[in-house]
Amino acid sequence: MELIANVVVGLVGALHVYILVLEMFLWDKPAGLRAFGQTQQAATASKVLAANQGLYNGFLAAGLFWGLSLGAGGTGVKVFFLCCVLIAGLYGAATASRKILFVRSLPAAIGLALVFLSGVQA
């Protein structure tokens, strides 16, 4: 169970690295415009804000990878950063797009459940 939990945590981290790239480097490029449903004009106007958001997503990814690198001692770190992702996803779903609930919050919730289950079995 621990292996599956760590794979999901790693996937959530990788997702946030991908989001970092989209927001920081591709926001006003075709891939970023498609991913976020932006017009070129809106993307150009909000590029600096998106880069800031991307940086925060990078911190979430770094925290998840940090938790993974700590092995069994990283459970608390993984739980903390998965909770951060979950809460950020819930806020994003409530304020920006319901799609965020499924793209960010659901994987984080699954990761949390698996981390807790792997801790119970250990």
User: DSSP states of 91-114 as a string?
Assistant: HHHHHT-THHIIIIIHHHHHHHHH
Domain span at residue 71 reads: 2-121
How confident is the model over 32-64, as pLDDT tens digits?
Answer: 999 999 999 999 999 999 999 999 999 999 999
For the chain, which residues score pLDDT lower than 70?
Answer: 120-122
Query: How far apart, in whole angstroms, are the C-alpha atoms of residue 112 and residue 74?
Result: 13
pTM of the model: 0.93
Task: Return the pLDDT at 121.
Answer: 54
Number of independent structural domains in the chain: 1
Task: Return the pLDDT at 122.
Answer: 45
Give the CA dihedral 9, 12, 91, 114, nearest 10 degrees: -30
Structure tokens at 63: 């925290």
Task: Return the pLDDT at 120.
Answer: 67
